[in-house]
Amino acid sequence: MRTTLEIPDDQRAKLLQLAAARGMKGFSSLVTEALARYLADEEERRGRIERALSLQGCLNAKEAEELERSVEAVRERWR
């Protein structure tokens, strides 16, 4: 499907350079590739969030306290 996008001049220039380096006339396929990657990443992100939320309530109080202590210990060593 054809559509119109407004992009900054510097991005357009970079897309044209990349397309030329790949031997392409225009950059439509690059935009399609970028959109496909973005949409796949977004779907994966939503899946990670759903998986994390599904774990809510899986730990009992003692396990939750142990996990919190463990996380705090890691944070202290990180600094």
In a domain, 3, yes or no: no
- What pLDDT was estimated at residue 13? 97
In a domain, 2, yes or no: no
In a domain, 29, yes or no: yes
In a domain, 16, yes or no: yes
Whole-structure pTM value:
0.64
In a domain, 57, yes or no: yes
CA distance 53 to 18: 40
- What pLDDT was estimated at residue 57? 86
Alpha-carbon dihedral of residues 58, 61, 66, 71, nearest 10 degrees?
60
Q: What pLDDT band is residue 37 in, cutting at 50, 70 and 90? A: very high
Can you give the residue range of the structural domain that contains 64? 10-78
In a domain, 19, yes or no: yes
State how many domains the chain has: 1
In a domain, 5, yes or no: no
In a domain, 37, yes or no: yes
**Cβ contacts of 59 within 8 Å, gap of 6 or more:** 67
